[in-house]
Amino acid sequence: MTGSIPPELGNLSHTLSNIDLNNNQLTGTIPRTFITIPFIDEFLFHAKNGLCAPSDDEFQGWLQRVDSWSGEICEPNVSIEQLSSIPTDFVLHGNYPNPFQESTSLRFDLPYNAHISVDLVDITGRVVYQLSPVSIQAGWEREIQLRNLSLPPGMYLYRLTVDDYVGKVMHTRSFIKVR
């Protein structure tokens, strides 16, 4: 195999027990989604051809819990500034403040440029607010502000739809509007 490891491989967290990436021409960073794989017996890779394990504490902690792993921790051939400027995975941090009265901000890390839209849904499943798609650049701590929401107090779901070069992905969380 050649190229980078697809981050979606980490989505196989309940079916994946062994990973052997030896004897391949893989390059890049091992996706951070691998830390969602709770029970893995063996993880083998060699960094000689440019495949790197993230050196951050969280990923290294996951590697330490793996029963049998071999490979070297290496730094990718990019600067620290480049590594820190764009995340490797989409992460929805939630909204702040929560609960809120008039406005709240939805915060997330975005690993690629995307169009993002927001739907607010009440507890009956009815869409009560829609924000048209906005173009957002890749980066850490991106945010969409929802202001002057004239909604009655209560619990709501917000659905963030991320439309990028791969397709559409929805992320849903809840928040509470107070008086």
Q: What is the pLDDT of residues 110-155, one digit of tens each?
A: 888 889 999 999 999 999 999 999 999 888 889 999 988 889 999 9
Query: Can you give the pLDDT at residue 83?
Result: 47
The kind and range of the H/E element at 82 are helix 80-85
pLDDT in tens, 40-90: 666 666 555 556 777 666 677 777 776 555 565 655 444 444 445 678 888
pLDDT at 13: 60
Which pLDDT does position 77 carry in this prediction?
45
pLDDT for residue 173: 93
Across 28-38, average pLDDT: 71
Q: How far apart are CA 132 and CA 128, in angstroms?
A: 13
Model's pTM, two decimal places?
0.53
pLDDT for position 177: 93
Classify residue 91 as exposed, middle or buried by CB count within 10 Å of its CB (0-12, 13-18, 19+): middle
Residue 93 phi, psi (nearest 5): -85, -10
pLDDT at 2: 74
